[in-house]
Protein backbone atom coordinates (compact mmCIF):
# COMPACT_ATOMS: atom_id res chain seq x y z
CA UNK A 1 0.00 0.00 0.00
CA UNK A 2 1.67 3.17 -1.18
CA UNK A 3 1.11 6.31 0.85
CA UNK A 4 -1.46 8.67 -0.60
CA UNK A 5 0.31 11.94 0.11
CA UNK A 6 3.67 13.28 -1.04
CA UNK A 7 4.26 14.84 2.36
CA UNK A 8 7.55 13.52 3.76
CA UNK A 9 6.69 12.22 7.19
CA UNK A 10 9.60 11.80 9.60
CA UNK A 11 9.22 8.86 11.98
CA UNK A 12 11.17 7.77 15.04
CA UNK A 13 10.88 4.04 15.81
CA UNK A 14 11.63 3.17 19.46
CA UNK A 15 12.01 -0.47 20.45
CA UNK A 16 14.61 -2.47 22.35
CA UNK A 17 14.13 -5.30 19.81
CA UNK A 18 16.56 -4.72 16.96
CA UNK A 19 14.51 -6.86 14.56
CA UNK A 20 11.40 -4.70 15.05
CA UNK A 21 13.44 -1.53 14.50
CA UNK A 22 15.01 -2.92 11.32
CA UNK A 23 11.75 -4.23 9.84
CA UNK A 24 9.87 -0.99 10.49
CA UNK A 25 12.76 1.10 9.15
CA UNK A 26 12.88 -0.95 5.94
CA UNK A 27 9.11 -1.14 5.38
CA UNK A 28 8.43 2.51 6.20
CA UNK A 29 11.48 3.65 4.24
CA UNK A 30 10.18 1.82 1.15
CA UNK A 31 6.93 3.77 1.56
CA UNK A 32 8.93 7.00 1.25
CA UNK A 33 8.98 7.98 4.91
CA UNK A 34 12.12 9.31 6.61
CA UNK A 35 12.80 6.81 9.44
CA UNK A 36 15.22 6.93 12.36
CA UNK A 37 15.45 4.46 15.22
CA UNK A 38 16.25 4.40 18.93
CA UNK A 39 16.86 1.32 21.06
CA UNK A 40 15.61 2.87 24.31
CA UNK A 41 13.33 5.60 25.61
CA UNK A 42 16.37 7.53 26.81
CA UNK A 43 17.96 7.43 23.36
CA UNK A 44 14.61 8.50 21.86
CA UNK A 45 14.41 11.56 24.14
CA UNK A 46 17.96 12.57 23.20
CA UNK A 47 17.15 12.13 19.52
CA UNK A 48 13.93 14.17 19.88
CA UNK A 49 15.89 17.02 21.47
CA UNK A 50 18.26 17.11 18.46
CA UNK A 51 15.86 16.46 15.56
CA UNK A 52 12.25 17.06 14.56
CA UNK A 53 9.88 14.16 13.97
CA UNK A 54 6.20 14.14 13.04
CA UNK A 55 5.60 10.68 14.50
CA UNK A 56 7.02 8.41 17.19
CA UNK A 57 6.12 4.73 17.31
CA UNK A 58 7.28 3.11 20.52
CA UNK A 59 7.19 -0.22 22.25
CA UNK A 60 5.56 -0.13 25.68
CA UNK A 61 7.66 -2.73 27.48
CA UNK A 62 11.28 -1.53 27.61
CA UNK A 63 13.93 -1.53 30.31
CA UNK A 64 14.68 1.64 32.28
CA UNK A 65 11.71 3.69 31.00
CA UNK A 66 8.48 2.26 29.59
CA UNK A 67 6.79 3.44 26.43
CA UNK A 68 3.98 4.84 28.58
CA UNK A 69 6.48 7.03 30.45
CA UNK A 70 8.11 7.98 27.13
CA UNK A 71 4.71 9.01 25.77
CA UNK A 72 4.18 11.28 28.78
CA UNK A 73 7.65 12.83 28.41
CA UNK A 74 7.15 13.48 24.69
CA UNK A 75 3.71 15.02 25.21
CA UNK A 76 5.29 17.45 27.72
CA UNK A 77 7.91 18.39 25.10
CA UNK A 78 5.48 18.64 22.18
CA UNK A 79 1.77 18.20 22.75
CA UNK A 80 1.10 17.86 19.00
CA UNK A 81 3.51 14.95 18.51
CA UNK A 82 1.71 11.99 16.98
CA UNK A 83 2.63 8.97 19.09
CA UNK A 84 1.77 5.38 18.29
CA UNK A 85 2.41 2.51 20.69
CA UNK A 86 3.06 -1.18 20.11
CA UNK A 87 3.40 -4.12 22.44
CA UNK A 88 3.10 -7.86 22.72
CA UNK A 89 1.45 -7.24 26.10
CA UNK A 90 -1.79 -5.73 24.79
CA UNK A 91 -3.72 -5.62 28.03
CA UNK A 92 -6.75 -3.37 28.26
CA UNK A 93 -5.20 -1.19 31.02
CA UNK A 94 -2.17 -0.54 28.75
CA UNK A 95 -4.42 0.41 25.85
CA UNK A 96 -6.53 2.73 28.01
CA UNK A 97 -3.50 4.35 29.65
CA UNK A 98 -1.83 5.03 26.29
CA UNK A 99 -4.94 6.36 24.60
CA UNK A 100 -5.75 8.61 27.58
CA UNK A 101 -2.13 9.78 27.46
CA UNK A 102 -2.51 10.96 23.89
CA UNK A 103 -1.49 7.99 21.72
CA UNK A 104 -3.05 8.05 18.28
CA UNK A 105 -3.16 4.28 17.82
CA UNK A 106 -2.15 1.02 19.46
CA UNK A 107 -0.61 -1.95 17.65
CA UNK A 108 -0.27 -5.46 19.04
CA UNK A 109 2.71 -7.63 18.18
CA UNK A 110 3.10 -9.48 15.96
CA UNK A 111 2.59 -6.30 13.99
CA UNK A 112 0.24 -6.11 11.03
CA UNK A 113 2.16 -3.82 8.70
CA UNK A 114 -0.93 -2.85 6.68
CA UNK A 115 -2.54 -1.42 9.83
CA UNK A 116 0.56 0.63 10.58
CA UNK A 117 0.70 1.94 7.00
CA UNK A 118 -2.95 3.01 7.15
CA UNK A 119 -2.38 4.85 10.46
CA UNK A 120 0.80 6.50 9.16
CA UNK A 121 -1.01 7.60 6.00
CA UNK A 122 -3.49 9.37 8.28
CA UNK A 123 -0.60 10.78 10.33
CA UNK A 124 0.99 12.17 7.16
CA UNK A 125 -2.27 13.86 6.15
CA UNK A 126 -2.60 15.42 9.63
CA UNK A 127 1.02 16.61 9.63
CA UNK A 128 0.58 18.04 6.13
CA UNK A 129 -2.56 19.95 7.19
CA UNK A 130 -0.87 21.26 10.33
CA UNK A 131 2.19 22.32 8.34
CA UNK A 132 0.17 24.18 5.71
CA UNK A 133 -1.97 25.84 8.39
CA UNK A 134 1.15 26.91 10.27
CA UNK A 135 2.79 28.20 7.07
CA UNK A 136 -0.32 30.17 6.05
CA UNK A 137 -0.62 31.66 9.52
CA UNK A 138 3.06 32.51 9.92
CA UNK A 139 3.27 34.07 6.44
CA UNK A 140 0.18 36.24 6.80
CA UNK A 141 0.65 39.86 7.88
CA UNK A 142 0.31 40.31 11.62
CA UNK A 143 -2.51 42.56 12.76
CA UNK A 144 -1.73 45.07 15.45
Strand partners, 59: 86
Q: How far is CA 36 from CA 22, 138, 141, in A?
A: 10, 28, 36
Using omega within 30 degrees of 0 as the cis cutoff, is the peptide bond preceding 110 cis? Answer: yes
pLDDT of residue 14: 98
Strand partners, 30: none
pLDDT of residue 6: 54
pLDDT of residue 106: 93
Phi, psi of 2 (to 5 degrees): -80, 145
The domain 10-137 is placed in CATH, from the list 3.55.10.10, 3.40.50.2300, 1.20.950.20, 3.30.160.620, at 3.40.50.2300
Full pLDDT tens readout for the chain, 144 residues: 544 455 789 999 999 999 999 999 999 999 999 999 999 999 999 999 999 999 999 999 898 998 889 999 999 999 889 999 998 876 778 878 899 999 999 999 999 999 999 999 999 999 999 888 878 777 655 554
Domain regions of the chain by residue span: 10-137
pLDDT of residue 3: 47
Among 79, 77, 76, 21, which residue's Cα sits nearest to residue 50?
Answer: 77
Amino acid sequence: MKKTTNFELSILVVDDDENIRMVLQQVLGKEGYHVSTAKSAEEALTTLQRSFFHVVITDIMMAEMSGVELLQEIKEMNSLMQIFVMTSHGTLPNVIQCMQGGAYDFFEKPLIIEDILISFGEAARRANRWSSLYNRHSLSPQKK
